[in-house]
Structure 1
Amino acid sequence: MDNSKKKYSENDIAIGKVYKMLRISKGFSQKEAAGDEISVTQLSKFENGYTIVSTNHFMIILQNINVNLFEFQNSYNQYLEEKDLLLFNTELTNALMEKNFIKLKLLLKELELKLELNSNLSKNKKLKLDYIRTKSILSFISNDYSLTKNEINFLKNYLYDLKEWGQYDIHLLGQCAQFLDLLQLSDLVERMISPSQINYKLHYIELARIQSILNIINIFIENNMNESARKLIKYLEDSKIHEYFMFEKITLIYNEAHLNYKKGILSGLDTMEKCQKILEFCNCYKTANWMAKEIDEIKK
């Protein structure tokens, strides 16, 4: 390798290579991609691993080829043949929806091995959270899995230290909520939905927030915390869930109907059955079957 490249790691060099791949795939020339931000010579050196560009320059030249950071990170991680951290949420959620016990067990074992190899706590915080989250999701499928007291405390400390709730953190709360004290859970939800956060209105943050709140509403209903459930239902109604999130809208209607039925409004059961039929019609069989089982339990 050229001596000018040796000062950069393979991962650093990969950033430029992935950028070049995306630029070409989008049909942009180096001149168009560089724009007024950097010179064509600088861009060429960046793409070929001879130099790197500053963060502010990189953000602009990424915008110049119509690629966002989410797309870039996915491409970058695939190039390095690593797991895409941003899509870890989707992988876990899909495994849960499919009740793919084997896949979740393999993920948990993989994380457990990584934790053993990274015994330094300062370096494995992210791994430990991934482990806790995966273990919590497994608990939805098998009673053999539960969080330990130490794991719950680790989770709570992390969540209470947050000042900015990102997609990962929101899903973490929603998927581990069943192990948290209900009053603490209410408090953490209040922190999560605070509109003062920088990324509060981002599309994928909004969707993550809706999905996690729907799960927490169900937990509150199961534990007869009807007022807390009602408060979150009103929050989602006031948020005016977009029609793009039709699945979430139907789930909200189902949860509200379930709460109404528990309060003695018998028509709530009819609404729950309608929601179940709609999802069945849309081929959302896994959720529809879950609803059908819950409705059958209520009827008994």
Structure 2
Amino acid sequence: MEKSFDPKIGQTMLFVRKNKQLKLREMTGGLFTESQLSKFEKGETDITVGKFFKLLEHANIYLDEFQHVYNDYILAETMEFHQELAQAYQKRDLMTLQKWLFFWKDKAKYEPDLIGNKINEIVVSSVISAVKGSVVFKENITFLMDYLDNVKEWGRFEIWIFGNCLRFFDEEALKYYAGYLLGRTNFYWNMHLNKQLVIGTYLNIIDAFLKKGNLIFAKKYINYLNELEIGPNFFYEKITLTYHRAHYQFLQHKASKQGMINCAKTLEQYGFLIESRILFEEIDKI
């Protein structure tokens, strides 16, 4: 028998709950059973409007935010790809990166009208180049820039593209797109699920300017993140910002590397072993 309700609503609620790291009992608040919520999230059963609004309340998400996530749910379905790509980059796992490159190359070949396939291929190729320390084809970066220029309102997908590939943009392009993001932060900041992505992108912008030797713009975005007051839920991001501040001090005033070393040690102490190793390797090369 055909379902008379939309199972995607429950699946979207599951996506929200997982990203907010909430347990079933925290969502239900004892007003209905965890089993009911679990079946709703799986798209097996529906719930009343009253229960639905209680879930929004307990998840601290507004209806318009939920609707945005619902309408954009296709991105949730690619979350596994994004997470695996990020982990492979951190681990310098070229085998996994090559797997995804071949996957998106095939998709782009057999579905050439879907621009997202080509973009994903270029992003993976850029991440591989970052791991290898090689260059990216200029036409690929031009392709991404043309796409970003044609999108009137960036969403998570566009921020993800920029955050992963900005290290290969020339300095003027980096300033331009970083400025665009700067002018729209309040809009993105209102979407809880975007916060970590936006913070991470700013951290990548700072890192790129530091490595290009542009200390003025690096300081500009360090100050901006300071003003945003990153919350305690973003521990890794807070330590990374502290690391960038120490890196800036080292470059600007020829200060000691100890501040950078302390950040790497803190990440190591709290279990961010891969991330700390990357920082230690970077410190050794400076």
TM-score range relative to shorter protein:
0.7 to 0.9
Select 1:176's aligned residue among 152, 159, 165: 165
What's the counterpart of residue 289 of structure 1?
Answer: 277
Distance 1:91 1:232, change over 3 A: same
1:155 aligns with 2:144: yes
What's the counterpart of residue 50 of structure 1?
Answer: none
Distance 1:263 1:143, change over 3 A: closer
Q: Contact 1:28/1:65 (CA < 8 Å) preserved in 2?
A: no
Q: Contact 1:164/1:198 (CA < 8 Å) preserved in 2?
A: no
Select 2:227's aligned residue among 238, 242, 251: 238
What's the counterpart of residue 185 of structure 1?
Answer: 174
Q: Show the 5 A alignment for 1:23-42.
A: 25-26=36-37, 33-35=47-49
Q: Contact 1:220/1:229 (CA < 8 Å) preserved in 2?
A: yes
Q: Give the drift of 1:166.
A: 1.8
Matched position secondary structure for 1:33:
coil
Read off the aligned partner of 1:204 and give its amino acid letter. L
1:127 aligns with 2:117: yes
Identity score, percent: 24
Q: List 4+ stretches of structure 1 deviating above 4 A.
A: 17-25, 27-32, 61-74
CA distance in 1, matches of 2:46, 2:160: 38
Q: Contact 1:26/1:65 (CA < 8 Å) preserved in 2?
A: no
- Structure 1: gaps spanning 5 or more residues: 6-12, 37-60
Which one has the largest radius of gyration? 1
CA distance in 2, matches of 1:191, 1:141: 27
Q: Contact 2:188/2:195 (CA < 8 Å) preserved in 1?
A: no
Q: Per-residue displacement from partner, 1:92-141 (whole Å, max 9, x unpaired)?
A: 1122122221111011101101111123xxx2211111111111111122
1:96 aligns with 2:85: no
CA distance in 2, matches of 1:14, 1:230: 55
Q: Give the drift of 1:200.
A: 3.6
Select 1:116's aligned residue among 105, 109, 115: 109
CA distance in 2, matches of 1:177, 1:221: 13
Q: Show the 5 A alignment for 1:152-231.
A: 152-195=141-184, 198-231=187-220
Distance 1:188 1:16, change over 3 A: same
Q: Contact 1:73/1:84 (CA < 8 Å) preserved in 2?
A: no
CA distance in 2, matches of 1:143, 1:31: 50
CA distance in 1, matches of 2:46, 2:173: 52
What's the counterpart of residue 278 of structure 1?
Answer: 266
Q: Contact 1:165/1:197 (CA < 8 Å) preserved in 2?
A: no
TM-score, scaled to structure 2: 0.76
What's the counterpart of residue 262 of structure 1?
Answer: 251
Q: Give the drift of 1:24.
A: 6.6
The number of aligned residues is 254
CA distance in 2, matches of 1:116, 1:206: 34
Distance 1:193 1:181, change over 3 A: same
Q: Contact 1:118/1:124 (CA < 8 Å) preserved in 2?
A: yes
Q: Per-residue displacement from partner, 1:210-269 (whole Å, max 9, x unpaired)?
A: 1011112111111111101010100100111111111101101111111111112424x1
Read off the aligned partner of 2:47 and give its amino acid letter. A
TM-score, scaled to structure 1: 0.73
